[in-house]
């Protein structure tokens, strides 16, 4: 399936905050490092944030399906109290 994606790959990186992906962007991976208690990731406005429990742990997410494709109004990933994050996405051809 992945070898059939015709796209441009783009990466976003930072410490904490909100990343807005362009509609149609498909998440290839998310990596984040927590800064202690209260570190979370919220993907595409999901009602529940994903906790990063330990200050020495990395959160790594590599979806194996197309459910993690940004929509026009459901396209943000929010990092709270994180030390660093990196998002890698595949953009549709021509985007």
Whether residue 91 is contained in a domain is answered as: no
Whether residue 36 is contained in a domain is answered as: yes
Whether residue 31 is contained in a domain is answered as: yes
Q: Phi/psi of residue 55, each to 5°? A: -60, -25
Whether residue 92 is contained in a domain is answered as: no
> DSSP labels for 9-63?
EEEEEESSEEEEPPTT-EEEEEEEEE-STT-EEEETT-SSPEE---TT-EEEE--
Whether residue 89 is contained in a domain is answered as: no
Full-model pTM = 0.83
Tokens of 92: 């549709």
Q: Which residues of the chain have pLDDT under 50?
A: 1-2
Domain that holds residue 25: 19-41+52-76
Whether residue 32 is contained in a domain is answered as: yes
Q: What is the pLDDT, as a whole number, of residue 1?
A: 44
Q: What is the pLDDT, as a whole number, of residue 64?
A: 77
Q: What is the pLDDT, as a whole number, of residue 79?
A: 94
Domain count, the chain: 1
Are 80 and 15 in contact by the 8 Å Cβ rule? The answer is no
Whether residue 29 is contained in a domain is answered as: yes
């Amino acid at each position: 399936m992945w070898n059939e994606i015709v796209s441009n790959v783009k990466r976003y990186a930072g410490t904490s905050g909100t990343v807005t992906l362009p509609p149609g962007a498909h998440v290839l991976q998310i990596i984040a490092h927590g800064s202690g208690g209260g570190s979370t990731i919220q993907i595409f406005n999901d009602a529940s944030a994903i906790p990063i429990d330990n200050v020495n742990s990395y959160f790594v997410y590599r979806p194996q399906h197309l459910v993690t494709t940004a929509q026009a109004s459901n396209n943000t990933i929010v990092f709270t109290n994180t030390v660093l994050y990196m998002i890698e996405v595949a953009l549709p051809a021509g985007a």
